[in-house]
Amino acid sequence: MDVRVVTAEKLGFCGGVRRAVEIALAGAGAGRPAFTLGPLVHNPAVIGHLAERGVRVVDDPAAAAGGVLIIRSHGAPPEVLERARAAGATVVDATCPVVRRAQAAARELAAEGRQVVVAGDPGHPEVAGIAAWAGPGARAAATAAEAERLELGERVGVVAQTTLRREDLEAIVDVLRRRVADVRVADTLCAAAQERQDAARRLAAGADVVIVVGDAASANARKLLAVCRDAGAEAHLVESAAFLDPGWFSGKAVAGVTAGASTPDWSIKEVLRTMEEMNEPGDVAEEKPSGSEGSSAAGGDAGPAPEEAGGPAAEGTGEGTGEGTGEGTGEGTGEGTGEGTGEGTGEGTGEGSDVPMKPLKAGEVTRGRVVAVGQDNVLVDVGHKSEGVVPLWELSHQHVTSPGEVVKLGDEINVFVLAVDGPEGVLRLSKKRADEEIAWRCLEEAYAEGTILERRIIEEVKGGLIVDVGIRGFMPASHVERGYVSDLSQYVGKAVRVRVIEIDRHKNRVILSQKVVLEEEYQHLREETWKTIAEGQIRHGVVKSITDFGAFVDIGGVDGLLHVSEMSWGRVNHPSEVVKEGDAIDVMVLRVDREKEKISLGLKQALPDPWTDADTKYPVGSVVAGKVVRVVGFGAFVQLEPGVEGLVHISQLANRRVATPEEVVSVGDDIRAKVLRVNPGERRISLSLKEADQEQEKAVMREYMSDQRRETATLGEMLGPALEQAKDRIQSEKKRTTRKRAARAKVEPEAESAGKDGDGGEE
Ligand code: F3S
């Protein structure tokens, strides 16, 4: 087959289910037996996983006596919680906050004296739970037809099952409004469920066949199936990849995949992987189409499974025209005009734009344009018969002194309707309340979706930090980082990525956590590292801690041991000589033990081996410098560079006989030695101190001789002129003497004759 596989923009686990599973896993192994009241989610694989960890399913709250009873995200009636506590069980309430909001709305509507109608499947535990919080008079209706048959009082309050399709809710409300004059609707539809349904609708519009991954017992998954079929697509519900039928894809161009809020990621991935495998050329689907019809383990073909066909979705007839126009609750929780909430879902922005305008109601959030900016108020056109007034103090939750600090003429803003016909007969609006309202919706959506929000920390308070999330969200100190933080003030003014971990609008409480975001990223990184790690890889890491035998290096969510012997090619006495905590280093993966989850790392292996070119760096016959690092009985080891040591054998230490090496060298001595042999393969170098000394003596002698010659030459050069002069003088003297002698010889005969007369002269 040749099918393009596309997935819905929103699918799988919602925040409420994820939270419940996390709570259950945290409860498992906590020292006391853990139970869930009914299956935690409609997913056998998840239930199996929890069972492996000791979390058992019970139907009777008393069965959890002495243990921990976890209330699933659907919630439970108040008397069930009482029974569990009375039986001695510790109740851990994992009711989804969106469901809890519905329970609270039911209780409040009942307290107003209204007969509560829960729009939803009467057999669903969430609906039963919501109805129980309203008291004994509450009714439930899954369809408009069922609503027709209800016995009703004079005043009715409607609460919706969180996962109900909006069109089903509207159909039920229409019937109730026709029958009873005073109907008040608390729109408690879950944004996460609606988004999944909207995304499924869009997916189905562009796909030839849609696979909905989820359990048939899941209302959520069944509704997705109905949405896809209503959109005209062939759709199949599968619990897992094993139920896929290759025949479904035969002759199809585009296959869509979506999943209910109880479906874990890995189950979706498994389905996608299997579809990809089916998609490979020459796959079985193309080869045996006849086997596909009615042969799947799900027993399904293009037609609905019996339980699917009989589900409430089969009654749905709406065309979705009413999105974004739901009724207000009169308590600030009403649905607005479908404007986006700014949290990146991107859905809902277009819906409702063509809807005819409805009369404004107090408690409603709507959108308008600023038409006048006064000194202490602004006028906003919301399409009402007159403009609405937003007083200065209703503009912002921060202190402002003039409206111009917040809005300008022509701005499109959200406003909360305080009073349609106020004391002065004017429409009174609040931008501050609208912003808060939207912030709450955004937070509830973020909670349900598990969306990560990036927000700024504005204040440090006792026990934690205040985060600006449109309202003041609290982040406990224990949720700031993965580890302990001693100084929280360093975070003030900084942006953080947080997840909403608890939200209770009635108590005005939002708890945020950066830690869960970091932890999740860490776990992903860890999984990715384990998936991709292999021996011989060079990995970048950060030194986390140092011990006497080595250092632990984080190489991506996984700590590996860098043993001291693998730190350097040279000798290392203590790991701290090579690395310190926080150092970013490249290391080689030496060994991976997946079973024991152990990884050995090497630092020196990530560096060039100094022995590789040792014979070039230290050629035989050369004299090299080094330091004595070890003295043993047969000689001394000399380090030429980190990792390269040579041996001076005792016989090569001196020209004389040496009894012990210590007579000649000590550890730490800087010496010069002659290279006798180099064997890089065996990592051996033989050195000789004796020959180096001889070399040196010879060198000194040569230098001396050369100095001598130079000195002689230099003497000649220095005395040359003087000698010449002396020679000249001697020559002159000789000549003079010769002349004198000649003169004397000539004179003597005369003198002889004259001598006879007396005087012998001066000579
Ligand atoms: Fe809660 Fe909505 Fe999921 S109601 S359990 S977040 S589908």
The response to whether residue 102 sits with its C-beta less than 6 Å from ligand 1 reads: no
Rounded to an integer, what distance in angstroms lies between the CA atom of residue 133 and that of residue 157?
Answer: 13
- 99-189 and 608-738 share one CATH topology? no
Low-confidence winner among 66-75, 339-348, 733-742 (lowest mean pLDDT): 339-348
Rounded average pLDDT over 668-678? 95
pLDDT at 748 over 70: no
Question: Is the Cβ–Cβ distance between 558 and 529 less than 8 Å?
Answer: yes
Considering only residues 459 and 319, tell me which one the structure prediction assigns the higher pLDDT: 459
Q: Which residue among 10, 23, 72, 73 has the greatest number of ligand 1 atoms within 8 angstroms of its CB, and so is best to mutate?
A: 73
Evaluate whether the domain defined by 4-11+192-303 bears CATH number 2.40.50.320.
no
* Segment of 283-297, 416-430, 525-539 carrying the highest mean pLDDT: 525-539
Rounded to an integer, what distance in angstroms lies between the CA atom of residue 527 and that of residue 212?
Answer: 27
Question: Is the Cβ–Cβ distance between 82 and 76 less than 8 Å?
Answer: no
Rounded average pLDDT over 354-361? 55
Q: Ligand 1: which atom is nearest the Cα of residue 17?
A: 5
pLDDT of 294 reads 31
The response to whether residue 190 sits with its C-beta less than 6 Å from ligand 1 reads: yes
**What DSSP state is assigned to residue 504?**
E
**626-672 pLDDT, tens digit each:** 999 999 999 999 999 988 999 999 999 998 899 999 999 999 999 99
The response to whether residue 500 sits with its C-beta less than 6 Å from ligand 1 reads: no
pLDDT at 192 over 90: no
Write down the CATH superfamily of domain 365-431. Answer: Nucleic acid-binding proteins (2.40.50.140)
The domain made up of 456-518 has a fold known as OB fold (Dihydrolipoamide Acetyltransferase, E2P) (2.40.50)
- CATH code for the domain defined by 99-189: 3.40.1010.20
Q: Ligand 1: which atom is nearest the Cα of residue 220?
A: 7
**202-228 pLDDT, tens digit each:** 999 999 999 999 888 787 888 899 999
The response to whether residue 163 sits with its C-beta less than 6 Å from ligand 1 reads: yes
Question: Which residue out of 79, 82, 112, 126 is catalytically annotated?
Answer: 126
- Which one, of 206, 198, 288, lies nearest residue 245 by Cα? 288
pLDDT at 755 over 50: no
How many Å lie between the centroid of ligand 1 and the Cα of residue 658? 87
pLDDT of 475 reads 96
The domain made up of 608-738 has a fold known as OB fold (Dihydrolipoamide Acetyltransferase, E2P) (2.40.50)
pLDDT at 350 over 90: no
Q: Ligand 1: which atom is nearest the Cα of residue 74?
A: 5
663: region left, alpha or beta (phi > 0 left; psi from -120 to 50 alpha): alpha
Q: What percent of the chain has pLDDT over 70?
A: 81
**724-736 pLDDT, tens digit each:** 776 777 676 666 6
Rounded to an integer, what distance in angstroms lies between the CA atom of residue 667 and that of residue 462?
Answer: 59
CA-closest residue to ligand 1 atom 1: 16
Rounded to an integer, what distance in angstroms lies between the CA atom of residue 285 and that of residue 303?
Answer: 19
The response to whether residue 14 sits with its C-beta less than 6 Å from ligand 1 reads: yes
The response to whether residue 192 sits with its C-beta less than 6 Å from ligand 1 reads: yes
The gap between the terminal CA atoms of the chain, to the nearest Å, is 142
How many Å lie between the centroid of ligand 1 and the Cα of residue 341? 18
- Which one, of 618, 5, 532, lies nearest residue 255 by Cα? 5
327 classed as catalytic: no
The response to whether residue 125 sits with its C-beta less than 6 Å from ligand 1 reads: no
pLDDT of 295 reads 30
Task: Write out the H or E segment, with its range, that includes residue 628.
Answer: strand 623-632
Residue 342 pairs in a beta bridge with none
How many Å lie between the centroid of ligand 1 and the Cα of residue 448? 6
How many Å lie between the centroid of ligand 1 and the Cα of residue 18? 9
- Residue indicated by tokens 């971990």: 501
How many Å lie between the centroid of ligand 1 and the Cα of residue 653? 83
Q: Ligand 1: which atom is nearest the Cα of residue 20?
A: 5
How many Å lie between the centroid of ligand 1 and the Cα of residue 447? 9
Residue 117 pairs in a beta bridge with 139, 158
- Which amino acid, one-letter code, is at 376? D
**100-123 pLDDT, tens digit each:** 889 989 999 999 999 999 999 988
Domain borders along the chain are 4-11+192-303, 99-189, 365-431, 456-518, 533-606, 608-738
pLDDT at 457 over 90: yes
Rounded to an integer, what distance in angstroms lies between the CA atom of residue 48 and that of residue 239?
Answer: 14
**312-336 pLDDT, tens digit each:** 232 222 333 233 323 333 333 333 3
**500-511 pLDDT, tens digit each:** 999 988 888 999
Considering only residues 32 and 524, tell me which one the structure prediction assigns the higher pLDDT: 524
- Which one, of 649, 654, 676, lies nearest residue 664 by Cα? 654
Question: Is the Cβ–Cβ distance between 335 and 325 less than 8 Å?
Answer: yes
pLDDT of 756 reads 45
Q: What percent of the chain has pLDDT over 90?
A: 45
pLDDT of 739 reads 64
Rounded average pLDDT over 253-273? 89
Helices 97-111 + 125-134 axis angle, to 10: 30
The domain made up of 533-606 has a fold known as OB fold (Dihydrolipoamide Acetyltransferase, E2P) (2.40.50)
